[in-house]
Structure 1
Amino acid sequence: MWRQPKTVWSIAFACVISFMGIGLVDPILKPIADELGAGPSQVSLLFTSYLAVMGIAMLGTGWVSSRVGAKRTLLLGLALIIVGAGLAGSQDTVGGIVAFRALWGLGNALFIATALATIVNAAAGSVKQAIILYEAALGVGIATGPLLGGWLGGISWRWPFYGVAVLMAVAFVATLTTLPKTPPAENPTSITAPLRALGHRGLLTVGITALLYNFGFFTLLAFTPFPLAMGAHEIGFIFFGWGVLLAITSVFAAPVIQRRFGTLAGIVGALLGFAVILAAMAIWTDDKTVLVVGVIVSGAFLGVNNTLITETVMKVSPAPRGVASAAYSFVRFSGGAVAPWLAGNLGEKSIHLPFWVGSVAVVLAVLVLLTARRIISALDEAPGHGAEEVTSRTEAEALTVGDA
């Protein structure tokens, strides 16, 4: 598995940095707010702009990559991340950071839309070996994002942005020099295909479910650093624990739970567990121990949910997997974009309120999902309740979309 072409290692390295994107800013939210004189609602827009642009861009990534080829799409995505991250770290206003964070989101959407297919096509040996390598890169990125953010953020909140720009510049040069030219697709993807795919009831229902649970997910990420009121290093280690559990359960626990209990039961159980954690954090918001434990343990529930619900997206409708995942990402990131801003505003009124709203939203997500239980339960009729092998391409695609 380790004897791969240089191209594979170049893209795998870029994947690690790309998947740091969300967790990286957690440790520096409060330092940015303190230094620039901003409140939680303003600083939370770093998530909102990133996720809103990424969600909208997902509708067009297939259209772009199918017309210009994988290499140009990857390089364009990397270039936008470099510019977005570098200029975000150079700003002196929250508005400036938010604007260039949006550019970063556009670049990330283009990159992750083509990275998996490129690694699989370029890898030496079996597809399974390539997917193991890809999933390893994904897990390392999710887990180390907060750690890098905390380490560099302890020097200055600007350094995590500069660090990403430098690392992505290395990945850009490596990809440019090692990846052969890739031709456009024979049958280009229509830009309206993802929106048309949402006409399928099962896909739309799962998308709305994700929109609602993302209110809880991004409340946890964007608001919790404020009541914790700790330094960048401490926040980094806390969310590192969250990322490790999320990565492990995404890859290893989710398929086991799916085979044992079924897809629908696995998703419902994970979401209800997460809702309970948010409720506990709402009750004991003044207790930092509860907040720390809640953040870390929630990673286990979110990892299971992200994999199972995204796998469901790719199987529940007749749309091609790329089209279905683009449609799903567009809907779910709508919730992800609104949640940080809403949590910040509510938190300025009461530090308990964001967690209550997040918990209720996750419960509503369960109720919405259950309206399509017959459609989703049909997936469980397959052997092993339809669980994919860890080394399957569908599993890797589910991890990419679910954890991005």
Structure 2
Amino acid sequence: MNKKINTAAELQVSSEGNILSQPKAVWAVFFACIIAFMGLGLVDPILPAIADQLDAAPSQVTLLFTSYNAVMAIAMLITGAITSRIGMKGTLLSGIIIIALFSALGGLSNGIWELVFLRGGWGLGNALFVATALTAIVTLSTSGNAKAIILYEAAIGLGISVGPLIGGALGAISWRGPFLGVAALMVIAFIGLTVFMPKAAGGNQSKNKKRISIIDPLRALKHRSLLVLGITAALYNFGFFTLLAYSPFVLHLDEHGLGYVFLGWGLLLAITSVFMAPVLQKKFGTIKSIGAMLTLFALVLLVMGIFNSTKWLLIAAVVIAGALLGNNNTLITTAVMNASPVERSTASAAYSFLRFLGGALAPFLAGELAERFNSSVPFYVGAIIVFLSVLYLWLNHKHIGHVDQIKGQH
């Protein structure tokens, strides 16, 4: 096997290459990422309002996340094939157009099932954008893989944290406001990328560039390291979207209140992904740090299940979860980008396919479990699934241990 697999030593954040010294194209993608991920947070504070105004059950409203993640997961398999044909810029712009279109149509819809369908279309746009954005930032960055991934996770955190604040404000006027707001923001992102990202940047300008097949991401999962991290992420994302999609229904807050809670959640997610995750990685190693963060997250979900009627504790748990999720997102994304000899775009697509399958099942199941049993059960199930991700990670440590082969090989 001649292809060299990057080690964790190569991922360590070193003093070389300032994270802020990036080409304009990287900053254009960075700001577009912030706006794209605002879409996730914008919608969260209005879930109870949608249930109330469209006369829908919580299990129906949580399908907004299920359709979004399910379409996103499947679409991840085609992102590489599309990018290799129309280039990064073309794929990013296509994703933005689709997000803007379906979010605008969602804001004009009049029924829950229509809205669920349109959220699926939104997921298609997000798949094209998200998978390509990560690859674009890592490829175009001049500061190395680790810092590029931190920059990407920072954009996610900023978007997710600011989104609920705007969503709460717009949602207090009408549940349609956040959907229409996303459409308007994506127009701004489209203009920014069009102006600042060169057409040739990361494109398929080379006639000799290999075109990626639709089945390449599935083939990539033959690499045990990528498969292990993908399944771990699928199990972990089950807990992530249990918290994101269902906690608004147990917090019993208005749109502004939910906006502030998820602002705190997103801020901690952003701060830890940038500042704390690299420190944990350097001190304890990537795999140990992932295991620790997932264990703590499972405990947070367990606490949310046990103290389901204690509002202040639920609020604190949601905000604290943001710190754990921010660390884990950066750590596991870094591991995926360097765990196998597969091209970054293909590895990202394969990993995201598995990751979002977990995110698709959780919201639907959370709503169903709450209606059949009680509002604590979704969090208990989420905690068990996340604990399983830790167990699976450790049972397969030998397949991913190479990401922690350290020191002296930089």
TM over 0.5: yes
Aligned to 2:393: 369
> In 2, Cα distance between the equivalents of 1:120 and 1:247?
18
Aligned to 1:145: 163
Deviation at 1:55, TM superposition (A): 1.2
> In 2, Cα distance between the equivalents of 1:167 and 1:228?
28
> In 1, Cα distance between the equivalents of 2:291 and 2:129?
31
Structure 2 counterparts to residues 2-401 of structure 1, below 5 A? 10-116=28-134, 118=136, 126-127=142-143, 131=148, 136-182=154-200, 183-184=203-204, 186-349=209-372, 350-383=374-407
Higher deviation after alignment, 126-135 or 364-373: 126-135
> In 2, Cα distance between the equivalents of 1:339 and 1:136?
25
SS at match of 1:285: coil
Deviations 1:110-150 (A, max 9, x none): 12233355567778xx4469947655543321211111111
> In 2, Cα distance between the equivalents of 1:217 and 1:60?
24
Does the aligned pair in 1 maintain the 2:98–2:125 contact within 8 Å? yes
SS at match of 1:22: helix
Deviation at 1:10, TM superposition (A): 4.3
Does the aligned pair in 2 maintain the 1:57–1:106 contact within 8 Å? yes
Gapped regions of structure 2 (runs ≥ 5): 1-18
Higher deviation after alignment, 113-122 or 333-342: 113-122
Does the aligned pair in 1 maintain the 2:22–2:143 contact within 8 Å? no
Deviation at 1:323, TM superposition (A): 1.3
Does the aligned pair in 2 maintain the 1:84–1:101 contact within 8 Å? yes
Cα distance 1:135–1:370, how it changes in 2: closer, same or farther (>3 A)?
closer
Does the aligned pair in 2 maintain the 1:316–1:375 contact within 8 Å? no
> In 1, Cα distance between the equivalents of 2:404 and 2:21?
37
Does the aligned pair in 2 maintain the 1:22–1:47 contact within 8 Å? no
Cα distance 1:5–1:222, how it changes in 2: closer, same or farther (>3 A)?
same
| TM-score, reference length from structure 2 | 0.87
Cα distance 1:73–1:366, how it changes in 2: closer, same or farther (>3 A)?
same
RMSD: 2.4
| TM-score, reference length from structure 1 | 0.88
> In 2, Cα distance between the equivalents of 1:340 and 1:107?
20
Cα distance 1:318–1:2, how it changes in 2: closer, same or farther (>3 A)?
closer
SS at match of 1:37: coil
Cα distance 1:310–1:4, how it changes in 2: closer, same or farther (>3 A)?
closer
- Which amino acid counterpart does residue 92 of structure 1 have in structure 2? N
Matched-pair identity in %: 54
